[in-house]
Amino acid sequence: MIRNFKLMAALSPMVAAAGVAGAMMIAPATPASSQSLGNILGSAKKVAEAASVTDEQIVAYFGQMSDEMDRQNPLAPAKNPYAVRLAKLTQGLDTYDGLKLDIKAYLVDDVNAFAMGDGTVRVYSGLMDKMTDDEVRCVIGHEIGHVKLEHGQKRMKRALQQDAALSVAGTASGGVRRLANSELGGLLQNVLYAQHSQAAETQSDDYALGFMAAKGYNREACATAMDKLAAMGGGGGIGLLQTHPNPAARAKRMRKQIG
């Protein structure tokens, strides 16, 4: 994962540039006199094209991102102890809340996990080492929440809208194409590694508590999982703590929710 983050860091200037271009494109405050008519028309066209990004394209691009993550990280083979434990603790979770899930472990010593908009869920062995079965389940429930509440999908749509090459390529054929590695890297940075808003995190925490209750798991595990993240603290750059700050506050809030 550390290796991946170096790759992401290398790509981020490009991503940042794309983000700035996207912001400028839609900024109403930009004086018209500073733009050529061609630019204005081009921008309008780009927005129109971006609006036609389809759900099919979004799911397909999530699929490509999942494949890329699986290519970059070692999946635990079926008989590996991490895979065996994860399969056991997620028994009956092939589907949940209308989502088809594919839950697997990475043999990577980071405290991390993610879910992708195509239902891919990956849990890192480093997180499994630190957490009980129910704590792992709560993290998974939280990640499923991000998918079900379409936080990643919205972000993906925005990323496609802000990247002319992606939006044009996606819509020119009305279908889906194989994204280049640099494009996948940019999407991973913008969609997977970037922080969600605090509102989105709170919604996903509540979703996780509902998930735990619905499945008959122990909801208190959500709070103790946050306690553990808080104890790791220090703002170390990698993993869940990077994308999910303030675990102590989240633990407190979850305990209040549980009552």
Q: Which residues carry out catalysis?
A: 143
CB of 49 closer than 8 Å to CB of 167: yes
Tokens 């994962």, located at residue: 1
Which amino acid is located at 183 in the chain?
E
Q: Among 39-47, 89-97, 129-137, 203-211, which window interacts with Zn ion (CB under 5 A)?
A: 203-211
Smallest distance, Å, CB 227 to Zn ion?
17
Residue 127, SS3? Answer: helix
Tokens 């908009």, located at residue: 117
Smallest distance, Å, CB 140 to Zn ion?
11
Rounded distance between C-alpha atoms, residue 201 and residue 209, angstroms: 12
Q: Among 26-34, 94-102, 158-166, 195-203, which window interacts with Zn ion (CB under 5 A)?
A: 195-203
CB of 138 closer than 8 Å to CB of 96: no
Which CB sits closer to Zn ion, 50 or 226?
226
Smallest distance, Å, CB 244 to Zn ion?
5
Smallest distance, Å, CB 165 to Zn ion?
29
Rounded distance between C-alpha atoms, residue 115 and residue 142, angstroms: 9
Rounded distance between C-alpha atoms, residue 139 and residue 74, angstroms: 20
Which CB sits closer to Zn ion, 135 or 201?
201
Q: Among 40-48, 102-110, 197-205, 206-214, which window interacts with Zn ion (CB under 5 A)?
A: 197-205
Question: Would you tell me how many other CB atoms lie within 10 Å of the CB of residue 4?
Answer: 20
Rounded distance between C-alpha atoms, residue 253 and residue 255, angstroms: 5
Q: Which of residues 204-233 bind Zn ion (CB under 5 A)?
A: 204
Q: Among 62-70, 79-87, 99-107, 193-201, which window interacts with Zn ion (CB under 5 A)?
A: 193-201
Rounded distance between C-alpha atoms, residue 178 and residue 64, angstroms: 8
Which CB sits closer to Zn ion, 125 or 203?
203
Which CB sits closer to Zn ion, 35 or 243?
243
**Which helix (H) or strand (E) segment is 100 a member of?**
strand 99-100
What number of chain residues touch Zn ion (CB under 5 A)? 2
Smallest distance, Å, CB 129 to Zn ion?
20
**What is the contact mask toward Zn ion in residues 9 to 48, using x (rule: CB under 5 A)?**
----------------------------------------
CA 244 to chain centre: 11
Which CB sits closer to Zn ion, 42 or 210?
210
Interacting residues toward Zn ion by CB under 5 A: 201, 204
